[in-house]
Structure 1
């Protein structure tokens, strides 16, 4: 199969769809890989590295799309890429369709086969292609939140770990999934007091078992959320409903109950956000303030650490890319149900229910 890896052109997105090691495995299995020139430089991989692994370097994004049966990316296509995607072409990437009706309509019109990393789901409910980026984003949420708590950036002026004689900062985490667990690890490591809310008692028991005593759990609900937002310095939104829009757990009126300089980090922004006042931001302009509350809502947080993120992503996507390349999408999806759950759009038909529900559409194919 002919596989294309274009350069990511979303704002400050430095990741790339495949590492040279991933290219090597594909070429070893007799597939042709096209890499757009300089596509990997932001992640620390250079054209010479890809050539040594057996790739062909193409000078333009148009050439990559035109010559490839399957496109392997990191982020969803943006408007200037829409016309390059053609009928029957497989596009394998993070799509997060539920947060963008325009993207969904464009991919329906293209009649491509859109397989979303974030909805590839194993029988146990795990999301193998989302986990590594959730791990990165969860850890970064604390790193970024700690920075934006600083007073020059309009935060409360709180050091999360505190110092002798001064109590540590308080971190509230909504969701005890991968993002929440990783955020809790980082915050606990800094010495912060951490509260995790979730509605899944199994997850809360797991947190209690693995975390130190200054990480506490409570059952999630509006009452408890309203109680904690008054006293916590950093609030992390880490709620996920696979393929669907995230629920708004923090509403507009709740901002008035927070102390000035409280920092919100909405890791669920790719799926519409779990904070009502969330709007996507970029690494170039990452924050905004509403009612004296700092919002950090960068839609591609792992793009700030592209080497780590690209290697972690290729580690998990490569086995699926190999299956798609060896068998074609139909046979690969028929033989591996987890991959079949990644199908979102096929030849102009929407085949993932959560997306239809996000837009209030009545039916799927």
Structure 2
């Protein structure tokens, strides 16, 4: 198969879809790999390293899309890329369709095969290609929140861990999954008083057992959230419903009950956000203020630490990339349930329930589109 790795062009996105080690592995299986010039530079990988591993370097993003049967990237295609995508071309990347109607309709129109990292799912319901970036974003959330709590950045002017004789900040984490767990761990390590909310009592029991004593758990409901945000200095939104929009746990009217300078970090923003007032921002312009509450809503948080993020992501994606290249997407998805669940849009049809429901589109069964593609 011919695999293409374009340079990411989303604002301040420095990750890359494949490392030189990944190229070498694909070349062992006799696949051809085209990499756009300087695609890996932001993550610390030079063109010469890709060439040494067996890749062919192409000068432009259009060249890569034109040559490749499968595109391996990190972030969803943005508007400038839509016209480059060919009918039937396999795109393996994060899509988060449920948060972008424009992207959904563009991929339907291009009749691409869109296999989304975030909905590849194992039998135990875990999301192997989302976990690494959830771990990075979760650990970054308190780090970014601590920065924006500083007064020059319009925060409350409170030190997350406090000092002897002065109480630490109160951090509220909404969601006890991968993101929430990592956020709580780092916030607690910095000395904050942390509350983790979730609707899964078994998960709350697990967290209660493994977390340090400055982390407490609480059942998540509207009443408890409304009470907790009145005294929270930093709120981390860490809610995920795979492939679907995140629910709004904090609504616009709740902002008025928060103290001026409270910081909201919505890690779920690329799935629509669990804070109603959040809208995607960039590393270049990461925050905005509504009702004196600081909103940090960067949709590609791990892009700020690309070396760590690229290695963590490609450790997880490469085995699937090799399967897709070796077998072709139809056969790979027939043989691998994880990959089949990653299919979101195929040949102009939506095949993932969460995406269809998000935009009120007809849902077609994966089996029928796979049969049509095979025919």
Shorter-chain TM range is: over 0.9
CA distance in 1, matches of 2:152, 2:195: 26
Contact kept? 1:356, 1:364, Cα under 8 Å: no
Distance 2:54 2:364 in 1: 41
Conservation of the 8 A alpha-carbon contact between 1:26 and 1:322: yes
Cα deviation, residue 360, structure 1: 2.8
SS at the partner of 1:24? helix
Kept in 1, the 8 Å contact 2:36–2:58? The answer is yes
- 1:5-154 pair list within 5 angstroms: 5-154=5-154
Q: What do you get for the CA RMSD once the two structures are aligned?
A: 0.7
SS in 2 for 1:114: strand
Q: Hey, what does 2:158 align to over in structure 1? A: 158
CA distance in 2, matches of 1:176, 1:229: 17
Distance 1:197 1:361 in 2: 33
Is the CA contact 2:266–2:275 (under 8 Å) kept in the aligned structure 1? yes
Matched with 1:181 is: 181
Secondary structure of the structure 1 residue equivalent to 2:328 = helix
Shift of 1:349: 0.6
Offset at 1:344? 0.2
Task: Indicate the SS of the match to 2:334.
Answer: helix
Residue 276 of structure 1, CA deviation: 0.4
Question: Quick check: 2:352–2:363 contact (8 Å CA) kept in 1?
Answer: no
TM-superposed CA distance for 1:359, in Å, is 1.6
Q: Which residue of 1 aligns with 2:172?
A: 172
What stretches of structure 2 of length at least 5 have no aligned partner?
366-375
Kept in 2, the 8 Å contact 1:116–1:344? The answer is yes
Map 1:267-282; keep pairs closer than 5 Å: 267-282=267-282
Distance 2:210 2:69 in 1: 45
- Deviation per CA, 1:252-306: give whole Å up to 9, x if none: 0000000000000000000000000010000000000000000000000000000
- The 8 Å contact of residues 349 and 363 in structure 2, kept in 1 or not, is answered as no
Task: Please name the residue that 1:341 is paired with.
Answer: 341
4+ residue runs of structure 1 moved beyond 6 angstroms? none
Preserved contact between residue 87 and residue 347 of structure 2 (Cα < 8 Å): yes
My pick for the range that moved more, 201-210 or 312-321, is 201-210
SS at match of 1:84: coil
After TM superposition, give the deviation of residue 203 of structure 1 in Å: 1.0
User: 1:62-91: per-residue Cα shift (whole Å, max 9, x none)?
Assistant: 110010100000000011111111111100
Distance (Å, rounded) in 1 between the aligned partners of 2:311 and 2:186: 21
1:212-233 CA-to-partner distances (Å, cap 9, x unmatched) read 1110001000000001000010
- Contact 1:334 1:340 survives alignment (8 Å): yes
Alignment-derived partner of residue 205 in structure 1: 205
Contact 1:170/1:232 (8 A) holds in 2: yes
Equivalenced residues, count: 365
**What residue in structure 1 maps to residue 218 of structure 2?**
218
**2:351 and 2:363 in contact (8 A); partners too:** no
* SS of residue in 1 equivalent to 2:265: strand
Q: Which residue of 1 aligns with 2:194?
A: 194
Structure 1: stretches of 5+ with no match in the other structure: none
Following TM superposition, by how much is the alpha carbon of 1:354 offset from its aligned partner in structure 2, in angstroms?
A: 0.3
Partner secondary structure for residue 235 of structure 1:
strand
TM-superposition CA deviations, 1:1-27 (whole Å, max 9, x none): 100000000000000001111111011
Q: CA deviation at 1:209?
A: 1.1
| Other structure's SS at 1:52 match | helix
The TM-score, its normalising length taken from structure 2, stands at 0.97
Query: Quick one: distance in 1 between partners of 2:226 and 2:308?
Result: 36
Q: What SS does the aligned partner of 1:157 have?
A: coil
Determine the C-alpha separation between the residues in 2 that align with 1:275 and 1:156.
Answer: 19
Instruction: State the alpha-carbon separation in 1 of the partners of residues 253 and 301 from structure 2.
Output: 27
Cα deviation, residue 310, structure 1: 0.3
The normalised TM-score by structure 1 is: 0.99
Q: How does 1:222-241 map to 2 (within 5 A)?
A: 222-241=222-241
CA contact (8 A) 1:154 1:294 kept: yes
Paired residue for 2:3?
A: 3
The alpha-carbon deviation at position 362 of structure 1 amounts to: 4.9
**Cα shift at 1:28:** 1.2
SS of the equivalent of 2:122 reads coil
**Alignment check: 8 A CA contact 1:128 1:316 kept:** yes
Whole-Å separation in 1 of the counterparts to 2:148 and 2:271: 23
1:215 and 1:25 map into 2 onto residues whose CA distance is: 43
